[in-house]
Amino acid sequence: MPVNFDKDLILVTCASGKQGTDLVPLLYKQWKRLRLQVHSDASAQRLRKQYPNAEIVQADLDDFSAVPRLLDGVTAAYLIGPAL
């Protein structure tokens, strides 16, 4: 399946953590549609300023009811788990 940088929606979980901090800037340069999941309000506010064209979703990964909202319309997901 060919990649469409303009239409495909990529989800990155734990987007404000160590891995996300390095990954998201690389994706943001090329992908037009990014959904970034964060846990805290502070992370959501910071990423909204840093990546104004990305969709920021504040959700707890332990809450299974958040999963449909996170995955709706997603083409691919980069799943980063919370630190232990």
Residue written as tokens 């999963």?
67
Domains of the chain: 9-78 (3.40.50.720)
Instruction: Identify the pLDDT of residue 73.
Output: 97
Instruction: Identify the pLDDT of residue 32.
Output: 96
20, 12 contact by CB (below 8 A) = yes
pTM of the model: 0.92
Q: What is the pLDDT along the chain (84 residues), one digit of tens a residue?
A: 789 999 999 999 999 999 999 999 999 999 999 999 999 999 999 999 999 999 999 999 889 999 999 999 999 999 998 776
What contacts 11, CB < 8 A, 6 or more positions away?
Answer: 35, 36, 37, 70, 71, 74, 76, 77, 78
Instruction: Identify the pLDDT of residue 82.
Output: 75
Residue 61 tokens, joined: 């990964």
Instruction: Identify the pLDDT of residue 84.
Output: 66
The gap between the terminal CA atoms of the chain, to the nearest Å, is 35
Amino acid identity of 56?
I
